């Protein structure tokens, strides 16, 4: 199946989904091929907005544009209501919605909304450990001073806000956080912790751990993929070579630990046996991360061939063995994603972020459309 035909089939599914979802937002399916829907209460609503913006940019279909701007209106209502904003995933939410709209049509109100979101994210900054706390209120006994690798994908909103406003504080905090992530989440063998705890009073490093992985010292594949992409984006904004090297190291580890079909199981350390769940979303994120990384590696870099080959193989496998191939009864693009196998939450289903990154990968490859993590105006 060629990539253009796959994109056309995703568009067909998305057009049906616009009707099916109405004003609600898909998150994951629960084994029946139907997305469970949310109302701006989770970390995931931006992915549907992002799918609509990408689909519009590719097709120029006004119906998709209309659906996309409606999602941004919904994000504005969420902001005005202060609803479910007390966590670090503000970057996922508002980069793919308000910032996306600004990138696509230069809408000033959307730019201001995305800047407002950056200010909300800044409230997660904790001065003693010098990190963005992922979850829970300041001083929280379990989550105070705790970071997670996923947060690297929230940082681009801050770098962009620094560019837009000239206020370097956004970028400085983002870079300190990225560097702490590099030093404490990434291990010497290039694997990663999902989360790390710092003492919230004195900032001392305490220990690594997991929330969604197999065990504390294991490597949760989606976390590793967030790291590949997040460090490559940190490099794009900072030009700090250490971030580029970290992205490369994580990418090499990821591809060297893939099973035969080049799509990741849910954790690199989970016993691989009959029935072990995959996480196709981890592989879709990994492909986008590697495509970003390849933008920054010079021609002649010894890893270019290996990384390009990893993109080709993973995409071929996702398309041929995981894509729903435009079956109108199925609402997702990619089968066999896993939200939290450890928490027994949708361990083998559609994940809206898997669909988003699958489409982003297709459009990066076909049209050089890179998604909405950084502005394209410059």
From 32, 61, 73, 89, the catalytic residue: 89
**Active-site residue, 150 included:** yes
Please say which residue, 18 or 282, places its beta carbon nearer to ligand GLY: 282
Catalytic residue flag (residue 89):
yes
From 101, 177, 222, 335, residue interacting with ligand GLY (rule: CB under 6 A): 222
102 is in an annotated binding site: no
Whose CA is closest to 44, among 26, 31, 67, 71? 26
Q: Is 348 in the site for ligand GLY (CB under 6 A)?
A: no
Q: Which helix (DSSP H) or strand (DSSP E) does residue 230 occupy?
A: helix 221-238
> Among residue numbers 158 through 217, which ones bind ligand GLY (CB under 6 A)?
212
Residue 141, Cβ density class (10 Å: 0-12 exposed, 13-18 middle, ≥19 buried): exposed
Asked whether residue 20 is marked as a ligand-binding residue, the answer is: no
DSSP E strand boundaries for 76-176: 125-126, 131-132, 146-148
Out of 32, 150, 216, 355, pick the active-site residue.
Answer: 150
Q: Which is nearer to ligand GLY, 144 or 223 (CB)?
A: 223
Q: Which of 45, 57, 150, 267 binds ligand GLY (CB under 6 A)?
A: 150
Distance of CA 297 to the CA centre of its chain: 21
Q: Give dist(CA 99, CA 81) in Å, integer.
A: 19
Distance CA 23, CA 348 (A): 26
Shortest approach of ligand GLY to residue 58 CB, angstroms? 25
**Residue 210 annotated as lining a ligand binding site:** yes
Residue 273 DSSP code: -
Cα separations in angstroms, 280 against 229, 258, 261: 16, 12, 11
- Nearer to ligand GLY (CB atom), residue 212 or residue 314: 212
88 lies in the site for ligand GLY, by CB under 6 A = no
Give the residue carrying structure tokens 């407002």. Answer: 116
Please identify, using beta-carbon distances, which residue of 144 and 337 lies nearer to ligand GLY. 337
Residues binding ligand GLY (CB under 6 A): 150, 212, 222
Active site residues: 89, 150
Q: Which residues are annotated as a binding site for substrate?
A: 89, 150, 208, 210, 222, 226, 340
């Amino acid at each position: 199946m060629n990539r253009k035909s796959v994109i056309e089939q995703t568009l067909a599914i998305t057009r049906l989904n616009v009707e099916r979802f109405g004003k609600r937002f898909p998150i994951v399916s629960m084994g029946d091929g139907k997305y469970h829907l949310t109302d701006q209460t989770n970390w995931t609503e931006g992915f549907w907005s992002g799918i609509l913006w990408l689909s519009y940019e590719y097709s120029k279909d006004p119906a998709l544009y209309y659906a996309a701007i409606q999602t941004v209106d919904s994000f504005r209502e969420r902001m005005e209501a202060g609803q479910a904003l007390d966590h670090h995933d503000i970057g996922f939410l508002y980069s793919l919605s308000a910032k996306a709209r600004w990138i696509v049509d230069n809408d000033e109100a959307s730019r201001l909304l995305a800047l407002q979101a950056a200010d909300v994210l800044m409230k997660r900054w904790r001065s003693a450990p010098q990190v963005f706390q992922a979850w829970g209120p300041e001083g929280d006994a379990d989550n105070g001073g705790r970071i997670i690798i996923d947060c690297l994908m929230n940082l681009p909103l801050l770098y962009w806000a620094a560019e837009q406003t000239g206020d370097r504080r956004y970028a400085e905090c983002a870079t300190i956080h990225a560097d702490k992530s590099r030093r404490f989440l990434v291990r010497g063998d290039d694997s990663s912790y999902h989360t790390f705890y710092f003492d919230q009073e004195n900032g001392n490093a305490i220990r690594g751990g997991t929330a969604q992985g197999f065990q504390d010292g294991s490597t949760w594949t989606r976390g590793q993929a967030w790291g590949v992409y997040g460090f490559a984006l940190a490099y794009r904004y900072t030009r700090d070579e250490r971030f580029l090297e970290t992205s490369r190291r994580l990418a090499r580890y990821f591809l060297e630990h893939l099973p035969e079909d080049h799509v990741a199981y849910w954790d690199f350390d989970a016993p691989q046996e009959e029935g072990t769940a995959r996480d196709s979303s981890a592989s879709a994120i990994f492909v986008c991360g590697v495509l970003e990384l390849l933008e920054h590696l010079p021609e002649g870099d010894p890893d270019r061939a290996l990384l390009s080959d990893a993109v080709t193989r993973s995409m071929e496998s996702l398309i041929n063995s995981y894509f729903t191939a435009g079956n109108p009864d199925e609402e997702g693009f990619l089968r066999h994603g896993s939200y939290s196998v450890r928490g027994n939450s949708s361990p083998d289903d559609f994940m809206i972020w898997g669909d988003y990154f699958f489409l982003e990968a297709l459009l990066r490859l076909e049209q050089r459309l890179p998604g909405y993590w950084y502005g394209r105006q410059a």
